[in-house]
Amino acid sequence: MLKFSNFLFPESREPESDARVIRESLEEAKLCDELGVEVLWLAEHHFDGNCAYVDPVTFAAAVAACTRRIRIGFAVAQVSLHHPIRLAEQIALLDNLTEGRLIVGLGRGTAYNVYEYQGYGIDWQEAGPRYAEAEGIMLQAWTSTEGFEHHGQFWDLKVPRLRPAPFTRPHPTVLRAASSEEGALHLARRGLPFLMNVQSLEATRARLAAYRATLAESGFDAAHVADCMANSWVWRNVVVAETDAEAARIGIPAFEAMQEHRRALRERIYAEQGIRMVQEVAPPARVQVDHALIYGSPATVAAKMAEIDETGVGGVICSFRLGPMPAAAARDSIRLFMTHVAPAFQARRSAAE
């Protein structure tokens, strides 16, 4: 049955707020650990304040030091911005520090913010092939016991055996992001679970049905299909309050302000340079309140989660702190969710097991 997690994606509006928001984020991580949240997902974004701690690898080490049970996931590490051996070493160390609590979400990098690539001196049009080559290198580094050589498009490497070796064998748990149906079906043909970005409920149902069908068509048996579904996650923004009206009062302005802040630097770069990575004809589901935000009383939110549960997906990545929302409001929302929404689904899962 459905698992619940928190996407810790804290916005900092100005540099003077960075240190405070980072401290508040660690407090939120500790609260999630205490309340029994399954996974704490960390983002990676640069230069714009959309993710205050910027680097999920470094921040994960701090989270690991102040938590005991919760799993720590990347949603996702922007692999095309990293040297693959350096990233493989860092992740192997984190896997040891957490004793296997790590979930390594990998992706090519942002599909929207060209300035992130420009700041690292990377051609954004190389992001896809850089990611594909880097992922292969990382998997080989984690599993090779003799060292290896690699000669590719972007890297020429002569690598001794990686130290430390990962705690988890043969390598840390890896998930891949898929921002399109084509990406999800590509992973289905490989027999791999995936992380889905924010979509409408209708699109989520359709994409998961196509993903499940493609797994079966690709020759994977029912047990493997079920395992892939159980280990796939969908993302929603979530605000829980005592009443629907209170959740709307808190959540809708914060969500709308968050979307505007995320758009601002991207639009400035377009005005200055004429570069836009994605041409969107209409506002996508991820920026629309009706599709991207689940808000309301515990009963209302539980009903919305039940609709997602019916798709058969394994878990929901919930973003609780949205845009300029105060940390206290996010903590209240998490507490209400974990004490009044999650228990019903946990009971179903226990009964099923």
pLDDT at 347: 65
pLDDT at 252: 98
pLDDT band at 280 (very low <50, low <70, confident <90, very high): confident
Q: Report DSSP state, residue 198.
A: S
> Does 241 have pLDDT greater than 70?
yes
List Cβ neighbours of 141 (8 Å cut-off, separation of 6 or more).
84, 85, 88, 89, 148, 159, 162
Average pLDDT on 104-120 reads 95
pLDDT band at 1 (very low <50, low <70, confident <90, very high): confident
Average pLDDT on 149-170 reads 98
Nearest residue to 324 (alpha-carbon basis) of 277, 263, 261: 261
The CATH superfamily holding the domain 3-352 is Luciferase-like domain (3.20.20.30)
Phi, psi for residue 306 in degrees, rounded to 5? -65, -35
> Does 171 have pLDDT greater than 70?
yes
Which residue did the predictor score with more confidence, 300 or 347?
A: 300
pLDDT digits over 61-98, tens only?
999 999 999 999 999 999 999 999 999 999 999 999 99
pLDDT band at 282 (very low <50, low <70, confident <90, very high): confident
Structure tokens at 232: 């796939």
> Does 353 have pLDDT greater than 80?
no
> Does 178 have pLDDT greater than 80?
yes
pLDDT at 348: 66
pLDDT at 283: 85
Q: Output the pTM of the full model.
A: 0.96
Q: Mean pLDDT in the chain?
A: 96
Q: How far apart are CA 203 and CA 311, in angstroms?
A: 11
Q: What percent of the chain has a predicted confidence (pLDDT) above 90?
A: 93
pLDDT band at 349 (very low <50, low <70, confident <90, very high): low
Q: Report DSSP state, residue 180.
A: S
> Does 309 have pLDDT greater than 70?
yes
pLDDT digits over 191-210, tens only?
999 999 999 999 999 999 99
Q: Where are the domains of the chain?
A: 3-352
Alpha helices, H only, 197-340: 201-217, 222-230, 244-273, 289-292, 298-309, 327-336
DSSP of 260-295, one letter per residue? HHHHHHHHHHHHHH---S---SS--GGG-HHHHEEE
Our measurement of the distance from residue 76's CA atom to the centroid of its chain's CA atoms, rounded to an integer in Å, reads: 5
Q: How far apart are CA 132 and CA 152, in angstroms?
A: 11
